[in-house]
Amino acid sequence: MKKFLYIIVLILTTIGCTKTNPIQGNKVVIEAFLFLDEPVDDVRITSLLAYGGDDTIPQPINDAEIDIIWRGNAYRLQSTNDSGYYHYPGNDLQVKEGEIYELKLNYNDFDISALTVCPPKPQNITSTKDTMKLIIVSLIDSFLTGGNITPPPPDSVIVSWPNPNDEYYYVIAENIDSTATNIYPDFIGGLLSFFFQSEPTTESSYTFFDSDFRKFGKHEIRVYKVNQEYVDLYTSINQDSRTQAEPLTNIINGLGVFTAVSYESIPLYVTRE
């Protein structure tokens, strides 16, 4: 999930550098994600790619002084590595649902800030089944029968959660089985492999099909509750680069996103029929 969020921000950075405003090259891009009940260690600061410049990869900023403000106290983040990542080393900064968090830093004479609220954890997640059984038809079987094997009917599982207020959620499926085997041969699976995640939705259910999975074994189905700033960021991916509007962001004097998310998970086993 975190890898996917970083991909979104990288795309946002690319969108931003296509604009013609020359001062955008002085702006920074914030990737800051707070996860309910987890340590603060997913904050990244990079420079926005300057329009018409030679750089194709955002340059990390490793010397920023970044604070997270919570309950009136400032918690100074520390640089994690030389890739622009920061973390909070203690355990007194806690991410709790319903709490307000502010990010603040000064860089290139810009006072940069953002606010977010940690959403509540999704409740009462259910699924239509806890095991999905796949019928695998091999290429050899198909060849021996002259291709007359009828393809098996697709299998599916519906994951549901209460959403009376039409709030935003998204769903991911991740294999957590260290001994899992591939569903498809390596030469096919390599072409089909991808990180699966739904788009943000205000629906109260999502349907996974057997074609969404790449490995047998135990999976976690995670339902994430997200804020509007995350939805705005996701929307910016599809923004027409020919427009002159800046990408949607909740960062004052910067670009990117500062947001908090929460999730709940249920297991799903993918097996061979």
CATH topology of domain 126-223+265-272: Immunoglobulin-like (2.60.40)
One-letter amino acid at 93 equals L
Query: CB neighbours of 110 closer than 8 A, spacing ≥ 6?
Result: 26, 27, 28, 253, 254
Q: What is the pLDDT of residues 143-182, one digit of tens each?
A: 444 455 566 667 899 999 999 999 999 999 888 888 888 8
The candidate with the shortest Cα–Cα distance to 15, out of 29, 5, 1, is: 29
> What confidence score (pLDDT) does residue 93 get?
98
Q: Could you tell me the two tokens for 87?
A: 């973390």
What predicted TM-score, i.e. pTM, was given to this entire model? 0.79
The candidate with the shortest Cα–Cα distance to 77, out of 62, 96, 56, 95, is: 62
Q: Is there a contact between 121 and 263 (Cβ–Cβ < 8 Å)? A: yes
Furthest CA-CA distance within the chain: 72
Q: What is the pLDDT of residues 226-272, one digit of tens each?
A: 999 999 888 776 554 444 456 688 999 998 899 999 999 999 999 98
Asked if residue 121 has pLDDT above 60, the reply is yes
Beta-strand pair 28-35/255-272: parallel
The candidate with the shortest Cα–Cα distance to 250, out of 228, 219, 271, is: 228
Stretch 53-67: mean pLDDT, rounded? 80
Give just the sign of the alpha carbon dihedral 134, 138, 142, 144. negative
Q: Where are the domains of the chain?
A: 2-120+225-261, 126-223+265-272
